[in-house]
Amino acid sequence: MNIICLVKFVPDITGFGYDYEASSMIRNHTRMVLNPDDVCALSFAFKVKEKHPESHLQVVSMAPSSVIPHMHDLLRLPVDRGILICDPLFAGSDTYATSEVLGSYLKSQAFDVLLSGSRSLDGATSQVPAQIAEMLDLDHMLDVNEIDIEHTTSSLAVFSVEGERETTTWSMQLPGVLSLSRSSTCKLPYPSYADLQRDVSDKLTILTNKELNLNPSHVGLEGSLTKVVNTYEAKSRKRKKTVVEADDKGIDFVLSYLKERGFV
């Protein structure tokens, strides 16, 4: 299989900067981690590589140059090629502008399946994978929690999606876009000790708008039509805690509590 995996490095939730004037996160000097949903997507790609070693895996990310060491870490795993789309012109792009940038590159690539996470920690809108699928005229499924590797081929994917009440099994003709959810509880392998210091810079290609040739007015802050009306810091407050026993009295208390607040 020819696999492309979209990954995003998101700000560590223990601390990040925010530009209130521009209504955007400051990413250049923030510790970045691989988005949990994208970990699951990449993990499945590694399973395919393990079962079919001839498969080709390309990892694509749109991010500032500060994530280059993180991309190198991924390239020390079973990744054949890394693409970092990086240009100051793209800074501040909303989901649509981000999809324009990624889509412009992906249109030039041949692949069997495009993998991504369903949501990102710093936005959780789920818009980018769907928008890219629309731009590429491909089918797309969100919130995939497991892909049946035994029955998935280069032309057909079989996978399950966990809904609110039940888990359903689907199939999709490929090429297509599958977005995995962190509920799949996948983990990435560790690189071997010998690979920890391996120079993988030749496996990473950095693309700027010089190569993509996008209209500057369609990307970055200028091309982002999503406008944040207001931003504020969430305030935490203590709530009164009530402990009840698992008996009739406790059940009556919980039922009364839910009724008062309109839940039942």
Whole-angstrom Cα distance, residue 30 to residue 151?
Answer: 41
Number of domains making up the chain: 1
The pLDDT, as a whole number, for residue 74 is 96
Is 199 a domain residue? Answer: yes
This prediction's pTM = 0.81
Regions of the chain short of the pLDDT cut 70? 13-30, 184-185, 231-234, 236
Token duo for residue 38: 């994208």
Report the alpha-carbon distance of residue 114 to residue 186 in Å, rounded.
18
**Contact (CB, 8 A) for 61 and 8:** yes
pLDDT number for residue 23? 56
Domain of 78?
A: 2-218
The answer to whether residue 192 is domain-embedded is yes
* Region for 82 from its dihedrals, namely left if φ exceeds 0, alpha if ψ lies in -120 to 50, beta otherwise: beta
Q: Let me know: does 33 contact 71? Beta carbons within 8 Å.
A: no
Q: Which one-letter DSSP state was computed for residue 77? A: S
Q: Is residue 224 part of a domain?
A: no
Digit-coded pLDDT (tens) for 51-72 = 999 999 999 999 999 999 999 9
pLDDT digits (tens, 9 = 90+) for 8-66: 999 876 555 555 565 555 555 567 889 999 999 999 999 999 999 999 999 999 999 99
pLDDT of residue 173: 97
**Is-cis flag, bond preceding 88, omega within 30?**
no
User: What's the CA gap between 42 and 27, in Å, rounded?
Assistant: 22
Query: In terms of Cα–Cα distance, which of 124, 128, 165, 175 is closest to 1?
Result: 175
For residue 231, is it within any domain?
A: no
CB neighbourhood size of 85 (10 A): 21
- Looking at the domain assignment, is residue 95 inside a domain? yes
Domain at 193, CATH number: 3.40.50.620
Question: Residue 143: what pLDDT?
Answer: 93
Q: Look at residue 82 and tell me if it is in a domain.
A: yes
In a domain, 236, yes or no: no
Q: Is residue 181 part of a domain?
A: yes
Please tell me the predicted confidence (pLDDT) of residue 27. 54
Tokens of 29: 């000097």
The residue among 109, 102, 115, 121 whose CA lies nearest residue 48 is 115
Identify the DSSP state of 165: S
Which of 47, 44, 109, 116 lies closest to 81 in space, CA to CA?
A: 109
